[in-house]
């Protein structure tokens, strides 16, 4: 026996219940639609805070710990490493925020579009009553983006965007690089404290000893918090990719209607086919190649 939720879902799938006469034609695309950006106050504030926190870590690492260090090789190596990872983290954040996560065209559930699908007798499709669009399988409506998103995992205010089919790679890279720079910062703070305890505090920083301690403690708190949060999120995302099941699908315990693929193939679907160094680059758009994004059980 089906639950009420399943019965409602079956009704939505029947073409006779789509009511295309209630949908206006989709708005024409303009030049302002070329870049994806969600105008959500909370998300914009969270995104700005994310960048400011990274810049604060940059300031403390460079001006408090590395520049005053006597060992030039130590400063140069850690400066290049930290700044390189921070740059990749911010680039990943920008790509995750400004990339269309897989939005379904809004208002395309018109009579003309439904007729153009040439549905066979008994064939069914979804219609989203909120954005009036034909919703593909594994798509869900986001109340913040106000769009249906293909393979939507969740809406993340820290990137001011949904994590979906087209930008999951950038979100995973963002969490990975933030976790790495947080770990790196914590290790440098530990070494700096050891060095300052052995030497005169006035010689190990360009700032006064009290200011140095406060700046380092704040960086420790920030690094530890971000390391735990992003490491857990990174692990959750990788597990979700390997099992080919989004966060919403796991939360709603939706019936699996798509074919099971290997974990390696699922990784290629998100990061690109074949495996290459481009997997680690936020500037490389994933090339799915032979990796089939949608493969359903017949």
Determine the Cα–Cα distance for residues 87 and 284; give it in Å rounded to an integer.
15
Instruction: Specify which residues 133 forms β-bridges with.
Output: 128
Supply the DSSP symbol for 284: S
Question: How far is the first Cα of the chain from the last one, in angstroms, to the nearest whole number?
Answer: 22
Instruction: Give the position of tokens 């009420």.
Output: 4
Q: What is the DSSP string of 117-164?
A: T-PPTT---EEETTTTEEEPTTEEEETTTTEEEET--EEETTTTEEE-
Residue 156 is among the residues annotated as catalytic for this protein:
yes
Distances in whole angstroms, Cα of residue 44 to Cα of each of 40, 58, 159, 221, 289: 6, 21, 8, 23, 34
197 near 79, Cβ under 8 Å? no
> Which one of the listed residues 156, 162, 196, 204 is annotated catalytic?
156
Q: Which are the catalytic amino acids? A: 156
């Amino acid at each position: 026996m089906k639950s009420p939720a399943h019965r409602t879902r079956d009704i939505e799938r029947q073409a006779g219940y789509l009511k295309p006469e209630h949908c206006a034609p989709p708005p024409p695309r303009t030049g302002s639609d070329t870049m994806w950006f969600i105008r959500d106050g909370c998300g914009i504030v969270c995104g700005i805070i994310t960048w400011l926190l990274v810049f604060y870590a940059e300031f403390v690492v460079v001006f408090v710990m590395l520049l005053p260090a006597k060992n030039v090789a130590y400063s140069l190596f850690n400066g290049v490493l930290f700044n390189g990872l921070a740059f990749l983290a911010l680039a990943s954040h920008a790509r995750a925020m400004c990339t269309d996560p897989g939005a379904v065209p809004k208002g395309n559930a018109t009579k003309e579009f439904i007729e153009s699908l040439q549905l066979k007798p008994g064939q069914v499709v979804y219609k989203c009553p909120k954005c009036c669009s034909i919703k593909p399988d594994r798509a869900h409506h986001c109340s913040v983006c106000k769009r249906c998103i293909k393979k939507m995992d969740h809406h993340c205010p820290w990137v001011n965007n949904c994590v979906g089919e087209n930008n999951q790679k950038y979100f995973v890279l963002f969490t990975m690089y933030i976790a790495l720079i947080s770990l790196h910062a914590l290790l440098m703070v530990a070494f700096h404290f050891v060095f300052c305890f052995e030497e005169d505090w006035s010689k190990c920083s360009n700032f006064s000893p009290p200011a140095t301690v406060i700046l380092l403690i704040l960086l420790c708190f920030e690094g530890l918090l971000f390391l735990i949060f992003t490491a857990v999120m990174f692990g959750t995302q990788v597990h979700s990719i390997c099992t080919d099941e989004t966060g919403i699908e796991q939360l709603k315990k939706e019936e699996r209607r798509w074919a099971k693929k290997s974990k390696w193939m699922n990784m290629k679907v998100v990061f690109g086919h074949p495996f290459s160094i481009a997997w680690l680059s936020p500037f490389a758009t994933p090339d799915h190649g032979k990796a089939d994004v949608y493969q359903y059980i017949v």
